[in-house]
A and B are shown apart, each in its own frame.
Chain A
Amino acid sequence: MDKYVCTVCGYVYDPALGDPDNGVAAGTAFKDIPDDWVCPVCGAGKDQFEPEA
């Protein structure tokens, strides 16, 4: 599964880790994260993420 980078702050979403603090279980693909999820570092919306190069 692909990692995604926040274009605002550079945080990397790694599907293997998920974002358990904010209700996203490890193993969740980026596309399956709820639309109202935001970057845990800077609060940017899901639309601000790009696939990691």
Chain B
Amino acid sequence: MKKYLIVGNGIAGTTAAENIRKHDATVEITIVTEEELPFYYRIRLPDFLCGEVNESGLVAKKKEWYQENNITLRLSTKITGGSVKDKILHSSSGEEIRFDRLILANGSAPNIPAISGSDKKGVFALHCIQDAKDIISHASCCKKAILIGGGLLGLEAGNGLKKLGLGITVIEFFPRLLPRQLDSEGARRLQSILEDRGFSFKLDAKTRSIEGNEKIEGVTLENGEFIAADMVIISAGVTPKLHLAKKLGLDCNRGIKVDKQMRTSHPDIYEAGDIVEFEGRTYGIWPAAMEQGKIAGTNISGGNATYEGTILSSILKVAGIDLASAGEIDEENLHDSKTVASETIYKKIVLDNNRVIGCIMLGDRKNFNRINRAISTGEDILSELDTLLAI
């Protein structure tokens, strides 16, 4: 019987397994992962941080799901290398795991910028459940946290820590918050909302060093300014984990190169998720990983599906703030756009040849689903725009 092996049990690997099973009721499917939990909602880790969801609520697929679908899940198993020719992977315990076909979905690791002191105790990145547990246990004796990186995850993690009672300062390299999701006007408004909630910001700022010996004392910026804190969270994006792919001799650049069928440079090895480089681009976002997992699982088991890329679409999950953004946000004013604004609401639609190619909705994200779909499909919704944008 054919053996399908999947490395990684995040949204990409799990969705791939689910789709292999849909196409073939009998093949052997094994998922190996370094994680200690079955598939969980990684993007809810900020909620876990502040106790809004517990560990069992975070777990998306319970053990029973794997049994019902006849999928073998091997937790806490690190893959160290393997041989494509022999179709074998090696685990850190020295075991050999055979496969006929392989899907690499082993994801990404947090970027840690070259800042002096980033290896100190009390400096964290929030990427997996263990990171969250480490942060929670450390935060209990802290009053002030610094977040390096003002992206979505940074702001959500900051909000989680704020709920635990910590003071939060965000240091962002860009002159505005969420540079991929917001134009200057949107970012200015979001910043003021977050400042009202007690966040402090240092924008257009670069961290020179993290200070402290036994205990973190704060950070020094490039301009010499010192900001006191007891802990530091770095959220500076993610990088594909290419170690295994390189050992297997797969064609890699920033990620593992993939074709539209989600196949790597080896015909029996597919891939999905953060590890993928598709047409020169790495995504690092949940919906892209889900879509790619579906396509990799379908195609590896004999189906025929094509990946066309994923539109960047994000929603800030901070309670009480309605913010959604998708596609091209046109910070440079290169396109036509339509904006509607009031004191509390800012909406912008970006147009190219009468097609909607992006939007920002702050303060009210009514009709976001509809607009987001039109961005993906290219459907003409020009005649509805005024209604869709109405405040």
Contact = CB atoms under 8 A, between A and B. Distances in A.
A1 to B, nearest CB: 15
B174 interface: no
B315 A10 contact: yes
Contact of B369 (A8, A14, A42): A14
B315 A17 contact: no
B317 A41 contact: no
A44 interface: yes
Contacts of B317: 9-10
Given A17-B370, A45-B60, A12 B41 contact: no
A50 B368 CA distance: 18
A45 B44 CA distance: 14
B290 A8 contact: no
B286 A9 contact: yes
Interface string A3-41: 000011111101001000100000000000000000001
Contacts of A53: 319
Q: Pick the most buried of A7, A10, A12: most chain B CB atoms within 10 A of its CB.
A: A10
Contacts of A9: 43, 286-287, 315, 317
Interface residues of A, number: 16
B105 interface: no
A12 to B, nearest CB: 6
A11 to B, nearest CB: 7
Contacts, number: 41
Contact of A42 (B290, B316, B365): B290
Contact of B43 (A14, A17, A42, A45): A42
B43 A12 contact: no
Contacts of B129: none
B165 to A, nearest CB: 23
B368 A12 contact: yes
B11 interface: yes
A51 to B, nearest CB: 14
B290 A43 contact: yes
Contacts of B53: 7
B286 A42 contact: yes
Contacts of A12: 365, 368-369
B73 interface: no
12 contacts: A7-B44, A8-B43, A8-B44, A9-B43, A9-B317, A10-B324, A11-B369, A12-B368, A17-B369, A41-B313, A43-B11, A44-B60
The 8 closest A-B pairs by CB, nearest first: A10-B315, A8-B41, A10-B317, A43-B290, A42-B286, A41-B287, A8-B44, A8-B43
Interface of A: 7-12, 14, 17, 21, 41-45, 48, 53
Given A21-B373, A42-B287, A48-B41, 19 more contacts: A7-B44, A7-B53, A8-B43, A9-B287, A10-B315, A10-B324, A11-B315, A11-B369, A12-B365, A12-B368, A17-B369, A41-B286, A41-B313, A42-B11, A42-B41, A42-B43, A42-B290, A44-B41, A53-B319
